[in-house]
Amino acid sequence: MKTNTYIKGNSLYHKADVRAKLLFTLLSCILIFLDPTISNLYCYTAFAVLLCVFSVGIKETFNNIKLLLPIVGFMILFLPLQSQKGEALLAIKDFVLVSDHALNNLLLVANRFIFISLITALLLQTSTNNDLLLGLRFFRLPYNAALVISLALCFIPSIASVFSEIRESQSLRLPNPEEGEESKKGRFKKLFPSLTAVLVYAIKSIPITASGLELRGFRGKGARTSYNKLNWGFSTFTQIVISVILPLIIFTVWRNV
Amino acid sequence: MKKESVALKIAIIAILTAVVTVFTMVVRIPTVKGYLHLGDVAICFIAFTLGPITGLICGGLGTALADLIGGYASWAVVSFLVHGIEGLAIGLIINKENVKFWQKLVAGAAAIVIVAGGYYLLSGLFLTGFEAALAEIPGNIGQAGIGVVLGLAVSEAVKKAYPPIKDLIW
Amino acid sequence: MKLLEFKDVDFSYESYTDEKARPVFSSVSFHVETKENILILGDPGVGKSTIASISCALTPKFASGTLTGLASLKGTNIEKLEPYDLTSTISLVPQNAASFIITTLVTDEIAYPLESLCLKREEITKRIQYSLSFWGLEELKEVNTFQLSGGETRRLMLSVNEAINPELTIYDESFDDLDIFYRGKLRDKIAKRETSSVVLASHFTKWYKGLFDRIYKFEKGTLVETREADLPKELESLSPLIIKESPNKSVFEAKEIKYSQKRKSTGSVFNLSVPSFSIESGEIVALVGLNGSGKSTFSRLAVGLEEPLSGQFYLEGKAINGKIRKRNIGYFYQNPDFQIFLPTVKDELSYGLSFLKLSEEKKESLLEETAKLFNLKLTDTATLLSYGKRKTLQAAIYYLLNRKFYILDEIDSALSYTEARNIISLLSQKGAGILLISHDREFATTFASKVYKIENGVLR
């Protein structure tokens, strides 16, 4: 199980400083709620798609959008529910399937939703986990919190693989490993021991991990040096300024134009 | 564990968060929102055996991480709030050694209300709109319900299999 | 100066059942001076790792128990010390190499303790570079810690120790997962005596000859000092196994098997080819090979967890698929904890029995008999047994399952030769064929009538 959402690349967005990207993403997602104009929203979404394509390629962008399609599908499916108000655009006899109000609402919500999803996915795909944590720490995320997150990321693949090995080995210790594979109840019964075993495994790892942390010098508070760091240069400063100003301009000033 | 250890607290939270994430991502049944998962089993287990604070942090962080890694990044904040509060609530309702049956019912009901209601409210407001959010409700109810039942069962099993677990309660 | 000293130390773990505490050892005394090497020998489960974690102030902090007597580090009572103050004084290379991993990248893992010691970035970079090249991990610099193989993880732990360079290092069975080349390197490093070393081991191997200033041995729950010359030759003292001729002979064969796998850490492809392999009931066959040569891969194929790309497995001459292989071959996972999840030993043993329709009395007597054979106590909490006892429990579980063949993967790493022999003999008494996998050639060949070797991806 990979905890890596990072996709290697050389785009401008990849090279941008992670702190700038964090600010840009956060501000964009918040500010987009200010604008109820459909045409502007189309522009924002198009911008997000283009940014994705230029940063991670068409295939990846398509993959990102693919995940959202079922949800948009459901939004379309539920159109009739909103179609009480407004003029009917599509109707079967007396029953209004789609009204212009509903359609408007749908486009608004869908555009916003796609924009937010793409922008956040892009952030994760163009920055490594380490960089993201360093960026968050720059914004005053406490060291201990960052340690928790990085430890969790460390354990996710290991617990996942242990879980699948446990499931395998549990199936081997039954007298007749074929039994119970077909019936749903049998499969469930086989799952329960695995769940228990993996939880015991996880719990047992806790004091051992704490031992490792302390033996390698973790105190809970106190000074530490840092091997990894984010570089700070003039271009970084410029990027951060841009990442703040750009969303502000686009979402507040431009919309009034 | 006699002495106070920050490292131990960090290890507890980190590893159990990882457990929630794995349970959320490994066993899945695809539906509207994305999938139904066993994350709630893990959250209920953590809340039952280790208390409300652990339940809050691990439940919230674990599901948020699962969303971020899985490609559903927009749900991260929503999941964090919903499942965090779920963990907190269950942990607060059930926090004594001998749990009575009615307490389990209340905890189950609370979990269902928080998860189904929380997702409906927050998805509706910020993500998909209220109408489409309706579609998630049945799934979420089932997931939360199964979560409490299985979580309780697993919690009993693990406590019996590995008694030292009681040392980890904050 | 005495770096580490134990004076009359007793230790017992807290018991979580109604019985009194679980005693580990009593009246243990030893000491290590600066730039000295000592060896502590003892069967698995006797308390070596406990000594290690007490020395690092990790027990009883993280594993509840009672300690009496005096354990001191550089003259200070260890019970008054905190582990994080000891980073540059004492380091532990744990028996389970993966257990101390706390970061995702190889370089971060080595950097972590150096950051705790507040070293400057240039110094950290220098030490990382040196340690990685010493232990041959440079190519794996950017790899996730999770993707490393067993041997690579061991070397990573050794690299961390190398970078810290503490005054005293405790090596808990560290020679185990290493290849001959790196065992030599470790031996040379210890011999140099730039820092002190405590090596914990279950068997005295040729790598230890002449390496230590003092040797201690566990005997009857306490530690005695001994000399190299006085060490018994354990393997030779074991009586040979008497195999009962079983009336129903089964033959399991593999012909022309080919399989391919991508290595997780380097991404290179590993090919395994098995021209011909066979094992009969009652036979003990050994499979030896270096770490990473494919022994576990072959086991997984044989048991039915994977299917070969080409070739066939046969039972009594008939070609069989994975499902049938799973029914007939018992695979001892290296980590016994994967299969243990019930409260007591009795629960674990009867879990498999529930599928057979036995009367209560028959079940009880079968359980009693099995527990006695394997030296287990039915009321013990399964998850809290020592590692060696958990492996024994695993053996007992399989014993009750009555498989036709068993694959024992590295059984000697958790048990004394005597205990391992006991398990092998018990399993084969029922007429089963046993495939012994080990990288300890001596052990494997002592019992086996046939030896297969994996070299360069070919098993013959």
The answer to which of B102-111, C130-139, C186-195, C208-217 has the lowest mean pLDDT is B102-111
CATH of C251-459, one of 3.40.50.300, 3.40.50.1000, 3.90.1150.10, 1.10.3720.10: 3.40.50.300
CB burial of A29-56 (b: ≥16 within 10 Å; e: otherwise) equals: bebbeebeeeebbebbbeebbebbeebb
By the CB < 8 Å criterion, does B77 face chain A?
Answer: no
Which residues is C30 bridged to in the sheet? C6
Asked whether the predicted pLDDT for residue C220 surpasses 50, the reply is yes
Q: How far apart are CA C29 and CA C27, in angstroms?
A: 6
Asked if residues A226 and A137 have their Cβ atoms less than 8 Å apart, the reply is no
Total domain count for chain B?
1
Decide if the complex's ipTM is over 0.90.
no
B91: closest CA of chain C, how far (Å): 24
Q: Does residue A149 share a domain with residue A77?
A: no
Q: Does residue A102 share a domain with residue A47?
A: yes
Q: Same topology for domains C2-236 and C251-459, yes or no?
A: yes
Total domain count for chain A?
2
Asked if residues B33 and B139 have their Cβ atoms less than 8 Å apart, the reply is yes
Largest CA distance in chain B: 53
Nearest residue, CB atoms, C326 vs list A172, A200, A210: A172
Residue A5 lies in a domain: no
Q: Look at residue A177 in the predicted model and tell me its pLDDT.
A: 53
Q: How far apart are CA B84 and CA B46, in angstroms?
A: 12
Taking CA atoms, A70 is separated from A117, B33, B119, in Å, by 14, 8, 17
Parent domain of B103: 6-168
Average pLDDT, chain A: 81
Rg (CA), chain B: 15
Q: Peptide bond preceding C113: is omega within 30 degrees of 0, i.e. cis? A: no
Mutate to test the interface with B, among C15, C16, C145, C339 (most CBs of B within 10 A): C16
Among candidates C329, C333, C319, which has minimal Cα distance to C281? C329
Cβ-Cβ contacts under 8 Å between A and B: the total is: 169
H-type alpha helices, chain A: 12-15, 18-31, 38-56, 58-77, 79-82, 100-126, 129-138, 143-172, 184-215, 234-248
SS3 B29: strand
Asked if residues C58 and C83 have their Cβ atoms less than 8 Å apart, the reply is yes
Per-residue pLDDT tens over the stretch B32-56: 555 668 888 999 999 888 888 999 9
Q: How far apart are CA C112 and CA C93, in angstroms?
A: 15
Average pLDDT, chain C: 85
The domain that holds B112 is classified in CATH as 1.10.1760.20
Residue A133 lies in a domain: no
Q: Does residue A106 share a domain with residue A69?
A: yes
Q: Could you please state the CATH topology (level 3) that the domain comprising C2-236 is classified under.
A: Rossmann fold (3.40.50)
> Which residues in chain A are closer than 8 Å to C341, comparing Cβ atoms?
193-194, 196-197, 200
Max mean pLDDT range (A87-101, A141-155, C259-273, C412-426) = A141-155
Q: Which H, E and C letters describe chain C, residue by residue?
A: CEEEEEEEEEEEECCCCCCCCEEEEEEEEEEEECCCEEEEECCCCCCHHHHHHHHCCCCCCCCCEEEEEEEEECCEEHHHCCHHHCCCCEEEECCCHHHHCCCCEHHHHHHHHHHHCCCCHHHHHHHHHHHHHHCCCHHHCCCEHHHCCHHHHHHHHHHHHHHHCCCEEEEECCCCCCCHHHHHHHHHHHHHCCCEEEEEECCCCHHHCCCCCEEEEEECCEEEEECHHHCCCHHHHCCCCCCCCCCCCCEEEEEEEEEEEECCCCCCEEEEEEEEEEEECCCEEEEECCCCCCHHHHHHHHHCCCCCCEEEEEECCEEECHHHHHHHEEEECCCHHHHCCCCEHHHHHHHHHCCCCCCHHHHHHHHHHHHHHCCCCCCCEHHHCCHHHHHHHHHHHHHHHCCCEEEEECHHHCCCHHHHHHHHHHHHHCCCEEEEEECCHHHHHHHCCEEEEEECCEEC
More confident: A179 or A136: A136
Nearest-CA residue of chain B relative to C343? B161
Residue B104 lies in a domain: yes
Between CA C186 and CA C188, with CA C187 as vertex, the angle to 5 degrees is 90
B98: closest CA of chain A, how far (Å): 21
Q: How far apart are CA C58 and CA C54, in angstroms?
A: 6
Residue B1 lies in a domain: no
Nearest-CA residue of chain C relative to A181? C323
Break chain C into its structural domains and give their ranges.
Answer: 2-236, 251-459
Q: How far apart are CA C193 and CA A65, in angstroms?
A: 61
Residue A220 lies in a domain: no
Model's pTM, two decimal places?
0.89
Q: Look at residue C64 in the predicted model and tell me its pLDDT.
A: 84
> Which residues in chain B are closer than 8 Å to C67, comparing Cβ atoms?
none
Q: Look at residue A254 in the predicted model and tell me its pLDDT.
A: 65
Per-residue pLDDT tens over the stretch C341-393: 888 888 888 887 776 667 788 888 888 888 888 888 888 888 888 777 888 88
Q: Look at residue C91 in the predicted model and tell me its pLDDT.
A: 93
Q: Phi, psi (5° rounding) for residue C288?
A: -120, 160
Parent domain of A167: 141-215
Per-residue pLDDT tens over the stretch B65-87: 999 888 888 888 999 999 999 99
More confident: C245 or A61: A61
Residue B130 tokens read as 């209220």
Q: Look at residue B134 in the predicted model and tell me its pLDDT.
A: 80
Q: Cβ contact (<8 Å) for B161 and C64?
A: no
* Dihedral over alpha carbons C207, C210, C214, C218 (to 10 degrees): 40
Asked whether the predicted pLDDT for residue C5 surpasses 70, the reply is yes
Q: Cβ contact (<8 Å) for A210 and B10?
A: yes
| Alpha carbon distance, N-terminus to C-terminus of chain B | 11
By the CB < 8 Å criterion, does A84 face chain C?
Answer: no
Residue A227 lies in a domain: no
Per-residue pLDDT tens over the stretch A151-192: 999 999 989 988 888 888 887 777 665 554 444 555 666 678
Per-residue pLDDT tens over the stretch C95-119: 888 889 999 899 999 999 999 999 9
Taking CA atoms, C287 is separated from A43, A155, B116, C435, C452, in Å, by 66, 33, 55, 7, 5
> Under 8 Å CB-to-CB from C400, ≥6 apart: which residues?
C349, C352, C353, C366, C370
Q: Phi, psi (5° rounding) for residue C248?
A: -95, 105
